[in-house]
Structure 1
Amino acid sequence: MTYPHLIVASVLALTAVTAQAQAPATASQPEPVATAPTPASPAVQPPRQAGFVKTLKGNVQVQGPEANAVARPAQAGDLLLPGGRITTGPDSAASVVLRDGTTLVVGPSSQLDLKAFSFDATTHDGNLLASLLKGSLRMITGLLGKSHPEAVRVETQFAFVGVRGTDFIVQADEQP
């Protein structure tokens, strides 16, 4: 497949998954599964969820931010933490909705690290740093991107993208 055809195929796949992600939800946002309390230092807080996997198609893997985390098959409703990773296989895609309403649509054969995410729902302050290691990403910004666009960035191997609009697509190839 030639390079222009690959981009067109990626955009079409992203558009289809985005349409599913923007469809009215029949259920509310999934709640985290309760776990047994573990002893912890009062100064150490677990990372707050960044968002959740809304829709997926094909082979999609999620990985937590822990150093020893292992990638596992994703399911709709899985939580994504800051520092987490989403990996999609060929002919696969996933949409992730972050707490500020930002939608990330990860295209086929892609790898996305959510390096940082914080959001204060009262002040709309925070930051978002996503690293697209390979593949394609469509981002539809939420409250953070609308209130503080300078706080939203996407990096690739060769460039940083600063957000000045509300909807864009980034393609990252493994070779220059």
Structure 2
Amino acid sequence: MLIKTLYLIICLGIFSLVLANEAAFVKKSKGDAFVLRDSKEFKISVGTKIFEKDTIITKSKSSVGLIFKDDTRISIGANSRFEIEEYLFEPENNKEAFVTNLAKGSIECITGLISKVNPEAFQMKAKTATMGIRGTHFIVRVD
């Protein structure tokens, strides 16, 4: 009985990862950077897949470059905490959402298709503000 229960838990875990909404992948990584997923921390390297609800954490002298499915490009600077709260890119169904939170640190962003086809769907939160992005290139720093 214990083995069957353990097997079921493992299968459900794998199934939930398959259903998880992949948002981006790591294009560049320098120094100590981690992704926090389901209360577990994993070291980031080039090619790491990033999912909705992930938090990217960079340490001193570290940076991470992400490319999202909609071609948004985000560079995360040193000593940062960047959370992907919601990400949905299904242009064939007219469903888009890009909601992130820069809890601390800095990012540079070149927006992709979501901000062009549905500007209201692109939001960047930062401590005391939420920004609706209408441009294509911006930098944010949170102390």
Scaled to the shorter chain, the TM-score interval is 0.7 to 0.9
The structure richer in helix per residue is: 2
Tell me whether 1:56 sits opposite 2:29 in the alignment: yes
The structure richer in strand per residue is: 2
Q: Map Cα deviations across residues 126-169 of structure 1 (whole Å, 9 max, x no partner).
A: 11001000000111111111111111001011111110101101
Aligned to 1:5: none
Tell me whether 1:165 sits opposite 2:135 in the alignment: yes
Q: Map Cα deviations across residues 98-152 of structure 1 (whole Å, 9 max, x no partner).
A: 1111111111110000000000142553110010000001111111111111110
Aligned to 2:101: 131
Displacement of 1:52: 0.8
Q: Map Cα deviations across residues 62-104 of structure 1 (whole Å, 9 max, x no partner).
A: 122x2xx311211111111100010111111101111111111
Unaligned runs of 5+ in 2: 1-9
Distance 1:39 1:72 in 2: 20
Distance 1:83 1:99 in 2: 15
The runs of 4+ residues in structure 1 deviating greater than 2 Å are 37-40, 121-125
Unaligned runs of 5+ in 1: 1-36
User: Is contact 1:100–1:121 with CA below 8 Å preserved after alignment?
Assistant: no
Percent identity of the aligned residues? 28
Q: Map Cα deviations across residues 9-68 of structure 1 (whole Å, 9 max, x no partner).
A: xxxxxxxxxxxxxxxxxxxxxxxxxxxx9258x9xx72120111110111111122x2xx
- TM normalised by structure 1 equals 0.69
Aligned to 1:152: 122
